[in-house]
Amino acid sequence: MRLQAVSGPHRAVLALGSNLGNRRENLQGAIDALADTPGIRVNVVSPLYVTEAVGGPEEQPAYFNAVILVDTFLPPEMLLERANAVEEAFQRVRTEHWGPRTLDVDIIVYADRVSDDPQLTIPHPRAHERAFVLAPWVDADPAAEIPGQGRAADLLAKLGRTGVERRDDLELRLPE
């Protein structure tokens, strides 16, 4: 993949999830891989959360979830390409909608951009409905907002934290 820079940097929020394999190592590996990408700087890593699976087949293992805040010179489409490449590096297989996965990397917001492009909808179309995205995001950035939806903390307060547990004993680290 050839990376092309755009003016910036732009702040982006990425949500990470894993419910197969060594879930913590999968998330940390994704953080490290994204940080190793020219044009991406990982600035903040949220605490890790353990969450119940939402949607998809029943009896899925629990997810580990986190959010990272990055500054990037990559346009959103290239950031998505990189996120997909990182998923593939961790053997992400897309066989079942909302099925179990080794790694999921979603772009939640990209600056204040709003787009309904079917390849990359920004902000993420369901982020405002998902406590497993909002809880770690609010920890990472208490003033966070989703364009067109409002403050992440207010959205989380409406949803509640049922099925979403912060795990301070399972640390993710900012890349060196």
Catalytic residues: 92, 101, 104, 106
Residue 62's contacts (CB-CB under 8 Å, 6 or more residues apart) are 19, 50, 51, 52, 53
Residues 15-47 as b/e (b if ≥16 CB within 10 A, e otherwise) read bbbbbbeebbebbbbbbebbbebebbebeebbb
Which secondary structure element, helix H or strand E, spans residue 152, and what is its range?
A: helix 152-159
